[in-house]
Structure 1
Amino acid sequence: MKLTMRWVLRSKIHQARVTDGNVDYIGSITVDSDLLDRTGLWPNDQVQVVSNTSGANFITYVIPAPAGSGEICMNGAAALYCQPGEEIIIMGYELTDRPLTAQVILVDDRNRFVRYLEGGHD
Structure 2
Amino acid sequence: MNLNSEIENKGNILIVDDLLENLQLLSNALLKLGYTVRSVTSGRMALKTVKVKRPDVILLDVKMPEMDGYQVCRTLKADADLSQIPVIFISALDDVFDKVTAFELGAIDYITKPFQIEEVVAR
Same fold (TM over 0.5): no
The structure with the largest helix share of the pair is 2
What's the TM-score once normalised by structure 1's chain length? 0.33
After TM superposition, the score normalised by the length of structure 2 is 0.32
Higher strand share: 1
Higher relative contact order (CA 8 A, sep 6+): 1
